[in-house]
Chains A and B, each alone.
Chain A
């Protein structure tokens, strides 16, 4: 028997094919979530690895956004909302009484579905967080933070000559990268992204996806999307949620090529 010739294949960014291993930064243990008496998430146990992109995908209403927002306690002010089980960041229970949710959100930043720049200048958008949290000692240091954040968000070259102009005048894709720069300016360890490209055109989507992959070198990215191709393109590990249950969690290549659960198979094939 001679060597079998290989069919041409698409090489994508090298990601681990066995379950991606690494150091967990966030761990969910038997986590559940309720809006009043309604249980929207049940028995979620998974690890989010440092410097990887973890994707939550699933149909509308599956609980993926609730899961994401539970990590940095964005739902604390939602009436009747409560979390069961345990969510830890570097081993610390994020719902422990001593944890200040404001400080938690400086470690776990968030980017939303629709770009939501403040109606102020590009500079002030990025400088907002560092000013509030007093991260800069003077104007020069603040300038550095703004420049570095815009550079990391791959927006600097496009806006460096108009930092004083209104952020509202930027295109949708630029506004979303500005929001990412704003999140980066407070020097988080984790960035939560809730459908960050769903309102963008293909070119802007591509830029945001490239940015996610670049960001994971220095940050941990957690992404919610119902765009399966996006999950496949950028995800290290992918979790499939359905009606509040974690159906499957594994490396993106495995989930999209050889899903273990028939439910996952039906969802990604557009049959669910």
Chain B
């Protein structure tokens, strides 16, 4: 027989799954738009929707705590849900920021999309895995995500170093690519936070050094 709180817990999970799916598609759309040099209006709509879903998750989590005083794995799940929901919302927000780069800098067809291609591919994979790790409560997948973060961090830092050494740069390309790499680096960070939360839900503890290696 399900407990009274199970209905609300199920709703929390369904909202998070919806957010995971929507946020993954939104970042993909934003990166497609950047590569193609066209604007995707649905990114803006999805980003706003993700904010509303994040608010809903917070409301349900607070209501669950107030009404049912959850403990043990229930409490850990609710705590982690807030973190995961915020992570999915931030995916959408950075997708929105990527679109703003397009709007601010205008035509970027003279720039080389391949500069950010490697980091974009890795970040997309991290997003996909973070959604999957949460959906399946998969600690191994979560650990994989954590180990992928260094690649995206390095891509951003290495590009900055390269720019510093360049004698001649196209300022429009340099700025837009720096911003995109920065947003990808932040998205990857949020993927790691989500991975940490999955490990916390399952194991009841913050990720250990072994989880990070």
What is A's interface to B at a CB cutoff of 8 Å?
A: 1-2, 4-5, 7, 9, 228-229, 232, 256-259, 264-265, 268-271
A257: contacting residue among B75, B82, B83, B149, CB under 8 A: B75
Asked if B122 is at the interface (CB within 8 A of a chain A CB), the reply is: no
Q: Does B69 lie at the interface of the complex (its beta carbon under 8 Å from any beta carbon of A)?
A: yes
| Contact between chains at B192 and A229 (CB < 8 Å) | no
10 A-B pairs with the lowest CB-CB distances in the bound complex, closest first: A258-B204, A268-B71, A256-B71, A265-B72, A7-B82, A4-B193, A229-B69, A259-B72, A1-B189, A268-B72
Q: A1-B189, A1-B192, A258-B204 are contacts. A7–B71 as well, Cβ < 8 Å? A: no
Q: List 21 A-B contacts (CB under 8 A).
A: A1-B189, A2-B186, A4-B193, A4-B196, A5-B86, A7-B82, A7-B86, A9-B79, A229-B69, A257-B71, A257-B72, A257-B75, A257-B204, A258-B204, A258-B205, A265-B72, A265-B73, A268-B71, A269-B3, A269-B71, A271-B3
Query: Which residue of chain B has its CB nearest to the CB of A9?
Result: B79
Residues A269 and B196 in contact, CB atoms below 8 Å apart: no
Chain A at the B interface: mostly helix, strand, loop or mixed?
A: loop
Within 66-119 of B, Cβ neighbours of A (below 8 Å) are at 69-76, 79, 82-83, 86
Q: A2-B189, A258-B72 are in contact. List 15 more A-B contacts (CB 8 A).
A: A2-B186, A4-B193, A4-B196, A5-B86, A228-B69, A228-B71, A232-B71, A257-B72, A257-B204, A258-B76, A258-B204, A268-B72, A269-B72, A269-B74, A271-B3
B132-177 at interface with A (beta carbon < 8 Å): 149, 153
Note all chain B residues with C-beta closer than 8 A to A264. 72
Tell me whether B72 and A256 are in contact (CB under 8 A). Answer: yes
B149 smallest CB distance to A (angstroms): 6
Most chain-B Cβ atoms within 10 A of its Cβ — which of A1, A4, A265?
Answer: A1
Partner of B149, one of A1, A228, A229: A1
Instruction: Give B193's nearest chain A residue, CB to CB.
Output: A4
Residue of B nearest to A3 (CB): B189
Q: How far is the CB of B16 from chain A (nearest CB, A)?
A: 15
- Complex Cα gap A140–B204 (Å): 57
**A7 to B149 alpha-carbon distance, docked (Å):** 22
Residues of B within 8 A of A228 (CB): 69, 71
Q: Do the beta carbons of A7 and B83 come within 8 Å of each other?
A: yes
Instruction: Report B-chain residues with C-beta under 8 Å of the C-beta of A270.
Output: 3
With most chain B CB atoms within 10 A of its CB, the pick from A232, A257, A259, A271 is A257
Specify the chain A residue showing the minimal Cβ separation from B68: A270
**How far is B70's CA from A2's CA once the two chains are assembled, in angstroms?**
31
Give Cα distance in the complex from A232 to B70, angstroms. Answer: 11
Residues on the A chain within 8 Å of B79, using CB? 7, 9
Q: What is the bound-complex CA distance between A270 and B196, given in angstroms?
A: 28
- Report B-chain residues with C-beta under 8 Å of the C-beta of A229: 69
CA of A269 to CA of B149 in the docked complex: distance in angstroms?
Answer: 36
Query: In the complex, A232→B71 CA distance in Å?
Result: 10
How distant is the Cα of A228 from the Cα of B82 in the complex, in angstroms? 24
Min CB distance, B3 to chain A, in Å?
Answer: 6
A162 CB to closest chain B CB, in angstroms? Answer: 38
Residue of B nearest to A265 (CB): B72
Q: Which residues of A contact B83 (CB under 8 A)?
A: 7
- A271 — which chain B residues lie within 8 A by C-beta? 3
Of the residues B69, B153, B205, contact of A1 by C-beta under 8 Å: B153
Cα A229 to Cα B70 with chains together (Å): 10
- Closest Cβ of chain B: how far from A55's Cβ, in Å? 14
**Cα distance A1–B193 when bound, in Å?**
10
**Cα-based distance from A4 to B186 in the complex (angstroms):** 11
In the complex, the chain A residue whose C-beta lies closest to that of B69 is A229
Chain A residues with CB under 8 Å of B73's CB are: 265, 269
**Chain A residues with CB under 8 A of B3:** 269-271
- Interface positions of B from 5 to 54, Cβ below 8 Å from A: none
Residue-wise interface mask of B (180-210) relative to A, using a CB-CB cutoff of 8 A (1 in contact, 0 not): 0000001001001100100000001100000
Chain A residues with CB below 8 A from B196, complex form: 4
